[in-house]
Structure 1
Amino acid sequence: MAPGIVAQPCDLVTVPARQGLEAVDILRLRDGVGPVLHDGACDTLGFLVPPGTAAGWDVPGSACTQTSGRGIPLGGPEGGAAPEPPVQGTGWLVPPDGAYADATDPAVLRAALGEAARTIEAVDRCQ
């Protein structure tokens, strides 16, 4: 691990991309978004959340994966480049150095995902 990079333990909440993108916008408006990953096909987004979140995560349409203490490197190298994503085949939508926090607060994420789902439902009804 390069100097200046600290591995922080985290869990990962995975959601469909459409709902995740809405939630990212909501969280950015409230300065509450942590690092966010996208999969290679952009089908899903993954929100980094504090370790232990997986044990109580129950939001329909999403999954929370426990990392068993594995962390991601936060605080990129001195050159300012974002660290490699912690999951193979993913990229950063919101890199650690562009996030407002080391991880997204689970309660705040739960509320943003609910608001995003309601927004998508309303848009779909109007089409």
Structure 2
Amino acid sequence: MTVPARQGLEAVDIIRRAADRDGGVGPVLHDGSGDTLGFLVPPGTADGWDLPGSACTQTNGRGMRFGELPPAARDGGWLLPPDPAGGVTDPEVLRAALGEAARLIEAADSCS
């Protein structure tokens, strides 16, 4: 699931602050240009994802081995690398964090 970098970074902070009650953030990729962040989410998330400003791409069903970068991120790298014992980001937690991040960014931009 990809989002603009600014919103994604805010969401990572929001999820990490709330990790005790909502679960943590899973692996996060950044692109080489610094424009987007990609969150690894459970299979099937793309089927119901409709959050404006983000894109959730369905894989071909084979998934991805931890440690390898998906083709779209080969010029980037891991912001938060995978933990073999860890999981992916819960889509509902991510959706809430992205909404909060969008509101924070809008408020900050309106004060400038």
TM class by shorter chain equals 0.7 to 0.9
* Residue in structure 2 matching 1:94, options 74, 77, 80: 80
Q: Which protein has the larger Cα radius of gyration, Structure 1 or Structure 2?
A: 1
The equivalent residue for 2:93 is 108
Q: Give ranges in structure 2 of 5+ residues lacking alignment.
A: none
The equivalent residue for 1:18 is 6
3-state secondary structure, aligned to 1:58: coil
Task: Note the C-alpha offset of 1:125.
Answer: 0.8
Task: Note the C-alpha offset of 1:102.
Answer: 1.4
The equivalent residue for 1:66 is 58
Which is richer in strand? 1
TM-score by length of 2: 0.87
* Residue identity matched to 2:28: V
1:43-70 CA distances to partner (integer Å, 9 max, x unpaired)?
0000000000001000000000001213
Task: Note the C-alpha offset of 1:109.
Answer: 0.3
How many pairs align? Answer: 106
Contact 1:33 1:101 in 2 (8 A): no
Residue 47 of structure 2 is aligned to residue 55 of structure 1: yes
Distance in 2, matches of 1:116 and 1:101, equals 24
Task: Note the C-alpha offset of 1:86.
Answer: 2.3
Stretches (4+) displaced over 6 A: none
The equivalent residue for 2:110 is 125
Which is richer in helix? 2
Percent of aligned pairs with the same amino acid: 72
The equivalent residue for 2:33 is 41
Q: Give ranges in structure 1 of 5+ residues lacking alignment.
A: 1-12, 75-82
Distance in 2, matches of 1:46 and 1:121, equals 21
Contact 1:16 1:62 in 2 (8 A): yes
Stretch of structure 1 that moved more, 65-74 or 105-114 = 65-74
Residue 68 of structure 2 is aligned to residue 84 of structure 1: yes
